[in-house]
Amino acid sequence: MAVLTDKVIFLTGGASGIGKACAEAYAKAGARVLVMDKEEVLLNQLLGRLGNEHAGVAGDVQKETDVRSAIEQTISRFGKIDVIHNNAGTAHPSKPLDQTTENEWDSLFSINLKSVYWTTRYGIEALKVTKGCILNTSSMVGTIGQENHAAYVATKGGMSALTKAMALDYAPFGIRVNAICPAGVWTPMLRQWAAQQPDPEGIERYLDHIHTLGYCPEGDVIADVAVFLVSEAARFVTGCIMPVSGGAELGYKK
């Protein structure tokens, strides 16, 4: 059963990694998807696989004009927006707080958190019409912390807290707001980082081991839960910070 039939989803950062898996899962579930991503080559490759009933916009979620244009193009193309999925993000750089430059700090917050401000500012009226929903890609590190990623952890802690505030603000309009929280997920960014470490095989074993279920997953496990959260099956779920983490936060494995 296509649980997202007739739904229109605006997805940021959807050309690779978790976003790509979500775009593919949304399309498979019957939705029409517009993906905004700054990586135009990867975006075009994705659209080639998804088909002509979907669309893409090359743009930077840090830029107000790019986000506003992408939202406008979504409404122009599809006539409405049912879901905004704020997935665009970065974990770079890997540093403690005192070694993080001001530009690095500002960049992380601009991409990971301020982008949600822009999509909400320009998309909320469309969601009021459809009584739609917002899904934010957060991270378990926003709850449990992570060494050498202070600014990134701060953005994800902020994302989870912001999700709850938005859920309260927009509930009177029938709009649900939830966050999905992975732990480790094999994305191109994570694979590149792992390959650059002194012991790549040891890193892979470590990433498997931190998940209580025993393995570091691909993006499809996140996408499957995302489909649920934006579907009518989750119609009474809002303000939820949903772990999809293989139990990594339980702390029994080191």
pLDDT digits (tens, 9 = 90+) for 42-78: 999 999 999 999 999 999 999 999 999 999 999 999 9
Question: Cα separations (Å) of 135 from 141, 195, 248?
Answer: 18, 31, 21
Q: Is residue 170 part of a domain?
A: yes
pLDDT tens for residues 127-155?
Answer: 999 999 999 999 999 999 988 899 999 99
Q: Is residue 42 part of a domain?
A: yes
Burial class (CB in 10 A: 0-12, 13-18, 19+), 201: exposed
Q: Is residue 114 part of a domain?
A: yes
H or E element: which one contains 178? strand 176-182
pTM for the full model?
0.95
Spatial neighbors of 157 by CB under 8 A, at least 6 apart, are 142, 143
Q: Are 159 and 116 in contact (CB under 8 A)?
A: yes
Q: Are 83 and 54 in contact (CB under 8 A)?
A: no
pLDDT of residue 253: 55
Q: Looking at the 3D structure of the chain, how many domains does it have?
A: 1
For residue 176, which of 238, 131, 224 has the smallest C-alpha distance?
238
Q: Is residue 51 part of a domain?
A: yes
Spatial neighbors of 63 by CB under 8 A, at least 6 apart, are none
Measured between alpha carbons, how far is 144 from 212 in angstroms, rounded to an integer?
Answer: 15
Mean pLDDT value across residues 226-244:
98
Q: Which residues are catalytic?
A: 152
Measured between alpha carbons, how far is 65 from 51 in angstroms, rounded to an integer?
Answer: 27
pLDDT of residue 254: 53
Could you list the residue range(s) of the whole structural domain that residue 180 is in? 8-185+219-247
Query: What tokens does 17 get?
Result: 């990694």
Q: Is residue 237 part of a domain?
A: yes
Share of the chain above pLDDT 90, in %: 80
Q: Is residue 200 part of a domain?
A: no
pLDDT of residue 146: 87
pLDDT tens for residues 159-218?
Answer: 999 999 999 999 999 999 999 999 989 888 778 878 877 888 888 888 888 898 988 999
First to last CA, the chain: 40
Q: Are 114 and 132 in contact (CB under 8 A)?
A: no
Q: Is residue 93 part of a domain?
A: yes
pLDDT of residue 115: 98
Residue-averaged pLDDT of the chain: 94
Q: Is residue 196 part of a domain?
A: no
- CATH number where 134 lies: 3.40.50.720
pLDDT over 70 (residue 235)? yes
